[in-house]
Amino acid sequence: MAHAAGYPAGSDAGAIIRLQDVHKVYDAGENAVHALRGIDLSVEAAEYMAIMGPSGSGKSTLMHILGCLDVPTAGEYLLDGTPVSRMSSRELARIRNRKVGFVFQSFNLLPRATTLRNVELPMLYAGIGRGERRERGLEALRKVGLADRAKHLPAQLSGGQRQRVAIARALVNSPAILLADEPTGNLDTRTGQELLGIFDELHAQGHTVILVTHDMNVAAHARRIIHIVDGLVADGTSSALEAEGAVA
Amino acid sequence: MTIHESVLDGLTDVRSHKLRTLLQTLGVVLGVASLVAVQGLVDAGRRRTLEFWSETGGLTKLLIVNRPPKELKITARQLASRSLTWDDAQAIKNEVPWARLVDPIASTRLTVRYGDYQKARDVSAATPDYPSVYKFYPARGRFLTQDDLESQSRVAVLGDTAARTYFGNEDPMGKTLYIGDVGFTVVGVMKRKEFYFNDGDHNALEWMNRQTFIPLTSLYTRFTGDASRRVNYINVVVDKAENNRKATEAARGVLLRRHGGVVDFEVMNRGDRLARAEEQGRVFDLTFLVTGIVSLVVGGIVIMNIMLASFQERVREVGVRKAIGAKGTDIAVQFLVESILVTCIGGALGLVLGVGFAKGITELLGEPAVITPKMALVGVVASVATGLFFGMYPAFKAARLNPVEALRYE
C-alpha cells in the first residue's frame, strides 16, 4: 500500500483537487437555493476519499462540481492544476473527457451499444483512432475481468458486470480522478462488496478515487471521509487514516 | 467524434427502431419519389423533343417563312416586296458564313396522275440540299441533283407513301408520272421516315412520306411561270449551334436589305424555340416540384416530430455522453447524422419508387424510360437537405441540454 502514511499535513503541494470557498446558488432570486456555502477542500493525488452526507446536504452538487459537470457560482476550483471554475461548456467537456472518470449509481451504459463500444466512447470523444481505441478498450475490459464480454450488450450482463464495464469506461482515458456516485446503490451487498474491492485495487494501483455515498459501509473503504452538512464540510474526522494523523 | 463514428452510432439506433424509422421515412419516400419522377419525365420529354428535331434538321436549323404584314393599309413599299424568293435563298447561302445548307421550298397543289389514279396533291419543288437538311435519303434511285435543277428536268422523286399511293404494287422507278399534264420520270423513292410520340400509332413524320418532289426550276418554268421565283419557306442549317444567333441575325439582315426594309418574313431559330418550350414546360415542372417539396416538408415535419417525441428517452443518453466528454457539437452532429440517415434511407426508397413512377408513366405514354444520373442527384440532395433542415431543431435542443439535469432525468 503505497500511501499508507504520509501526506504532509496542511500542504497543498501535490493536491489534485483544490476547492477554495466554493459556493453554488441555484435559481438566483427569491427562491434561491444555496446548495454549497463555502467549501474548502483539497484532495491529494492517489488519495481514496469518501464524501458522505444526507440527501439535500449538497453532496450531489459538490460531486457535479468536482466532476466538472457544473461550475461554482463563486470560489475557485483547481483540478490537476487547471482552474476550471470559469470554463466554457466546451472546455468543461474536454476536462470531463480527459481528467474525470464517472461511475454512476445506475451504470448509465448506452443500451444499444456493445460493451466494447461503451468503453470506447470516451476515446471517441477524445478523437483517438480506431485501432488504439480497440486495443485500449479491450485492455480496460481485461482489467475489470470482462474481456470475454466485449461483444455483449449491457442488457446481457448482470448488474455487477455492468458496473465493472462502467468502471472500465471511466478509466479508459486515464483520468486524474475517478468519481463514483453511489456505485453500489443498485447492487446487492455481496456484489457491492466485490465492486468496492475493485476500487480498493485501483487505489492500490495509484488512482485517485472519490466515492460519494450515504452508506457508512461503503465509505469505510476509503482512507478519508468528509461529511457535507448544509452545504459545508463538517469536521472531517472519521477515517482510520486521519485517526493516525496522516491527514490534518 | 468523427462523422464516420456518428454514422455507426446512428445506424445502430436506426436498426433498433426499424418500424419507427420506416414510418418516419414515408413522407420523404413520397417526396423524393415525386421529385425523381419529375426529373425523369422532364429528361425523357426533352430527349424526345430533341430526337424529333434532329430528324427534321436538328437544333441548328433556322426556318425562314413568309409573314405578310398584318396592317390593313399596305404601303407601296410593302407591295413592292415580293416575299421570299429563291434568290433570297442564294443570297443567304453566299452572304451568311455560318450557313452550311440552304434549302428553299415551294409547294404547289397540282393534279397528279398515273393510270387510274388522279388527284390534286401538294407537290414540293426543292433543291439538292433537301435530303441533308431532313436526313431524308433515297431508298432507291436518287434525289434531285444540281443538273436537274439547271436543266429544269422533268424528273420526280417520291416519298414511300406517295409511291404506293400512285403506283400501288407496281415498281415506280423509270415510270412516267403526270403532274399537271406534264410527264415526269420517277428517278427515286425515299426511305420511310417514322417518329412516334406518346400514343404510339401516329407517325409524326408521315407528311414526309407523302411528298412528291420535283426540281424547283421545273416548277417555275413548267407550271407557275413565276419570274420572281417565289418560295414558301427556306431552311438554313447552321454549322454549329453556337452560331445560331449570329446566323439568324445575318440572315435577317440579308433579307431586310433585299426586301427594301419590309419585314414580311420571320426567321425562326430552333435554339430559341427550345428555350421557349422549356420555359413553358417549366410551369408544368413547377407543379410537380411544388408537390414534391410539400411532401418533403411534411415528411421532414414527421421526422422532426418523432425525433422530438422520442427525445425524452434520449435525454439520459445525452447526459451520459456529455459526462464522459461529448461536446455540444458532438451531440448536435450525432442527432443531425441520425436525421440525415433516416431521410437518406427514405430517399433511397423514394429513388427506387420515383424511377418506378417515371418508368411506369413513360411506358404508359409509349416512350422508352430513361434513368438519368440527374434523377439520383435530385434524390440525394433532397433527402440530405430535408434531414439537415428538420434535424436542426432537435439537434440543437439536445446539444444545449444541461448535463446535470440530463443525467438526473428519469
pLDDT tens for chain B, residues 1 to 410: 677 888 888 888 788 888 888 888 888 888 888 888 877 777 777 777 777 777 777 778 888 888 877 666 666 666 666 788 999 999 999 998 888 889 999 988 999 999 889 999 999 999 999 998 888 899 999 999 999 999 999 999 999 999 999 998 899 999 999 998 899 999 999 999 888 876 567 788 888 899 999 999 999 988 888 888 889 999 998 888 788 888 889 999 998 898 888 888 888 887 777 777 777 666 666 777 788 888 888 888 888 888 888 888 889 999 999 999 999 999 999 999 988 988 898 889 988 888 888 888 777 766 666 667 777 888 888 889 988 999 999 999 999 999 988 988 87
- Does the reported pTM lie above 0.80? no
**How high is the pLDDT of residue A101?**
94
Domain limits for position A51:
46-69+89-243
Cα–Cα distance, A149 to A163 (Å, whole number): 13
Q: pLDDT category, A240, cuts 50, 70, 90?
A: very low
Residue A103 lies in a domain: yes
A244, pLDDT greater than 70: no
Cα–Cα distance, A130 to A119 (Å, whole number): 13
Residues of chain A in contact with residue B316, where contact means CB-CB under 8 angstroms, are 108
**How high is the pLDDT of residue A39?**
93
Examine the domain organization and report whether B218 and B294 are in the same domain.
Answer: no
Identity of the residue in B13, B319, B325 whose CB atom sits nearest the CB atom of A125: B325
CB B300 within 8 A of CB B386: yes
Examine the domain organization and report whether B385 and B345 are in the same domain.
Answer: yes
Examine the domain organization and report whether B49 and B75 are in the same domain.
Answer: no
Count of Cβ atoms closer than 10 Å to residue A11 Cβ: 11
**How high is the pLDDT of residue A116?**
95
**How high is the pLDDT of residue B284?**
65
Residue B316 cell numbers, joined = 439520459
CB contact under 8 A, B323 and A97: no
Determine the residue of chain B that is closest to A95 in CA distance. Answer: B325
Residue B61 lies in a domain: no
A16, pLDDT greater than 80: yes
Q: pLDDT category, A66, cuts 50, 70, 90?
A: very high
Cα–Cα distance, A23 to B44 (Å, whole number): 72
Examine the domain organization and report whether B212 and B307 are in the same domain.
Answer: no
A245, pLDDT greater than 60: no
Write down the number of H helices and E strands in chain A. Answer: 8, 10
Residue A217 lies in a domain: yes
**How high is the pLDDT of residue B83?**
83
**How high is the pLDDT of residue B225?**
84
Examine the domain organization and report whether B150 and B248 are in the same domain.
Answer: yes
Residue B112 lies in a domain: yes
Residue A25 lies in a domain: no
Min Cα–Cα distance to chain A from B319, Å: 9
Examine the domain organization and report whether B111 and B212 are in the same domain.
Answer: yes
Cα–Cα distance, B343 to B340 (Å, whole number): 5
Q: At what angle do helices B328-364 and A89-99 cross, to 10 degrees?
A: 100
Dihedral sign (CA B358, B360, B361, B364): positive
Domain limits for position B47:
3-54+276-408
Examine the domain organization and report whether B288 and B393 are in the same domain.
Answer: yes
Count of Cβ atoms closer than 10 Å to residue A25 Cβ: 16
- Report CA-CA distances (Å) from B51 to A69, B48, B57, B130, B216: 68, 5, 10, 19, 29
The single-letter code of the amino acid at B201 is D
| Residue pLDDT, tens place only, A139-158 | 999 999 999 999 999 999 99
Residue A127 lies in a domain: yes
A239, pLDDT greater than 60: no
**How high is the pLDDT of residue A168?**
95
Residues of chain B in contact with residue A90, where contact means CB-CB under 8 angstroms, are 327-329
CB B409 within 8 A of CB B401: no
Examine the domain organization and report whether B46 and B85 are in the same domain.
Answer: no
Task: Return the number of CB contacts < 8 Å for A and B.
Answer: 69
Residue B278 cell numbers, joined = 422549356
Residue B176 cell numbers, joined = 412516267
| Residue pLDDT, tens place only, A108-127 | 999 888 999 999 999 999 99
Determine the residue of chain A that is closest to B318 in CA distance. Answer: A110
Determine the residue of chain B that is closest to A91 in CA distance. Answer: B327
Residue A79 lies in a domain: no
Q: How many domains does chain B have?
A: 2
Which of B263, B284, B303 is the last residue before a domain boundary?
B263
**Overall average pLDDT of the A215-230 stretch:** 92
Examine the domain organization and report whether B290 and B404 are in the same domain.
Answer: yes
Cα–Cα distance, B264 to B149 (Å, whole number): 27
Q: Which long-range contacts (CB under 8 A, 24 or more apart) does A59-62 make?
A: A59/A212, A59/A228, A60/A181, A60/A212, A61/A24, A61/A35, A61/A36, A61/A231, A62/A36, A62/A212, A62/A228
Which of B217, B242, B263 is the last residue before a domain boundary?
B263
Which of B233, B263, B293 is the last residue before a domain boundary?
B263
Q: Is B205 left (phi over 0), alpha (psi -120 to 50) or beta?
A: alpha
Q: How many domains does chain A have?
A: 1
Examine the domain organization and report whether B321 and B366 are in the same domain.
Answer: yes
Contacts of A4 (CB under 8 A, 6+ apart): none
Residues of chain B in contact with residue A24, where contact means CB-CB under 8 angstroms, are none
Residue A235 lies in a domain: yes
Residue A114 lies in a domain: yes
Residue A155 lies in a domain: yes
**How high is the pLDDT of residue A28?**
65
Residue B122 lies in a domain: yes
Q: How many CA atoms lie within 13 A of B97 on its CB side?
A: 2
Grid look-up 483537487 returns A17
| Residue pLDDT, tens place only, A158-184 | 999 999 999 999 999 999 899 999 999
Examine the domain organization and report whether B291 and B197 are in the same domain.
Answer: no
CB contact under 8 A, B324 and A127: no
Count of Cβ atoms closer than 10 Å to residue B183 Cβ: 12
Residues of A contacting chain B (CB within 8 angstroms): 64, 67, 69-70, 89-90, 93-94, 96-98, 102, 104, 108-110, 112-113, 121-122, 124-127, 169-170, 173
**How high is the pLDDT of residue B370?**
65
Residue B404 lies in a domain: yes
CB A18 within 8 A of CB A72: no
Residues of chain A in contact with residue B403, where contact means CB-CB under 8 angstroms, are 69-70
In CATH, what number is assigned to the domain containing residue A143? 3.40.50.300
Residues of chain B in contact with residue A126, where contact means CB-CB under 8 angstroms, are 325
Residue B270 lies in a domain: no
CB A168 within 8 A of CB A141: yes
A243, pLDDT greater than 60: no
Examine the domain organization and report whether B97 and B177 are in the same domain.
Answer: yes
Identity of the residue in A70, A97, A124 whose CB atom sits nearest the CB atom of B5: A124
Hey, which bits of A61-191 come out as E strands? 74-79, 82-83, 100-103, 177-181
Residue B59 lies in a domain: no
Question: Which residue of B7, B317, B320, B324 to mutate against A (max A Cβ within 10 Å)?
Answer: B324
A190, pLDDT greater than 90: yes
Predicted complex: ipTM over 0.90: no
Identity of the residue in A67, A90, A113 whose CB atom sits nearest the CB atom of B12: A113
